[in-house]
Chain A
Amino acid sequence: MRVELDVPKCVASGQCVMAAPDVFDQRDDDGVAILLQEHPGEELLDDVREAVAVCPAAAIRLVER
């Protein structure tokens, strides 16, 4: 699985961090998302799916393989 984060679209809501803390983090000063791993393991698929679903900016894409 490959995850894409569109940083300019990100509105720094932190919803991805709540859904998938192993895959996303936030910058301390303004909360913009940071992609921790572009190729997370399959065990994180549900978390990533939830992150995609809750992101208010539609800034996360899951490229499944």
Chain B
Amino acid sequence: MPEAQSCPVTGAAEPLPEYPLPRAAECPLAPAPAAQQLRAEKPITKVRIWNGGTPWLVTRHADQRALLPDPRVSDDDLDPGFPYVNAHRAEIAPMTPRLITNTDAPEHTRLRRTVNGPFVVKRIAKMRAPIQKIVDDLIDQMLAGPKPADLLKAFALPVPSLVIAQLLGVPYEDHDFFQRSSSLVLDGSAAPEEARRVSGELAAYLDNLLRRKTADPDEDVLSEMAGRVQAGEMAHAEAVSMGVAMLIAGHETTATMISLGTLALFQHPDQLALLRETDDPKLIANAVDEVLRYLSIVQTGVRRVAKDDIEIGDVVIRKGDGIIFDLHAANWDPEVFPEAERLDLTRPARTHQAFGYGPHQCLGQNLARLELQVVYGTLYRRVPTLRPAAAIEDLEFDHTGTTYGVHSLPVTW
């Protein structure tokens, strides 16, 4: 009927919010204002993404905790309803082998248990002394160099790459190569071609190292995986991809928590003073979780698809619907974190979801926490005059990467 076309149904004209939602320029460390508003008014609501898809956006802490461990909420990125982060991710999904990052229980449980050994809390705790040495040496080098310095390049990126080198079992004489190549691939400064070449070199390097560890095992993750390959529990190629995945997943994220975390502390001098003056491991550990909560750097949201109808609150998520969990919005949910906009290193912060929640919660979280505890507990005490060498307005933020960070952080002391 022709008239019907010119008479829009009430409400249908209201456009869906476009996700990701933009941050406010004047509050670069806070979640997008619209995400906070949705959490208060429409905590589970549809949004529109880059490919025209209309997944649900879940913003409340409690709803994320209810849904993320639910077996109907799936990480299967071959499902046509899966809300891909971008075109590149959509393109590579069918070519990606099944890994912990795209499977559900029971497959996910099996895969994850084969790689989890090195991340067991007691084993990670043994890395404290080697991490302390890495951090101390890098601070020495930075202090001996020119100032102002870029904290990201001089300190924040090398820490996780040297720690992962140690965890994997990269011999000391190769640390330089490993650190230079992984930074080049990850800091975004290289041209795409160059980045591709260097990441190929890194994979080839790990492939070769895995062979050497098979013949001559040591006490490290690659040797352990080599053992599993020999026992037939894992394919050689799987072990190499796992090594590369640990490097990629743990490098930029941890580096960002060091650089952006330092920026957040610069913005809160009273909180920075707490860290500068303490050696209480409990306060330092809590500070790490609070900064994780406050910044919630994984800005693309956790992506899932419904494998069945799910009733929650007053909505029904249909089988095949995509679901996005905005971690920053949940971590600023005033029902769980009163005055969430305050960075308060002494508040109970442990139930934040900066590492996600449910079976896919970050594999490297215990390692990341330890690295950050050593960094936050050392850097500001050893360099008490550490301060910004650029105004926050002049910093360039990365709004499109998986993690929200700064391209550089000029500091002086």
Interface residue ranges, A against B (CB under 8 Å): 11-14, 17-19, 26-32, 50, 53-54, 56-58
Contacts and interface: CB of A to CB of B under 8 A. Distances in A.
Interface string B57-79: 00000000100110000000000
Contact of B109 (A11, A17, A19, A26): A11
Contacts of A28: 117, 120, 122-123
A5 to B, nearest CB: 15
A56 B69 contact: yes
Interface residues of B, number: 23
Contacts of B320: none
B126 interface: no
B121 A11 contact: no
Interface stretch (B174-182, B293-301, B354-362): B354-362
Contacts of A56: 68-69, 356-359, 361
Contact of B117 (A17, A31, A50): A31
B117 A18 contact: no
Nearest to B66: A58
A26 B123 CA distance: 10
B113 interface: yes
B119 A11 contact: no
Contacts of A26: 120-122
B359 A53 contact: no
A54 B351 contact: yes
Nearest to A58: B69
Contact of A31 (B120, B351, B358): B120
Contacts of B120: 12, 14, 26-28, 31
Nearest to A30: B113
A29 B351 contact: no
Nearest to A18: B121
Contacts of B366: 14, 18
B412 to A, nearest CB: 36
B354 to A, nearest CB: 12
B114 interface: yes
Interface in B311-368: 350-351, 356-359, 361, 365-366
A31 B69 contact: no
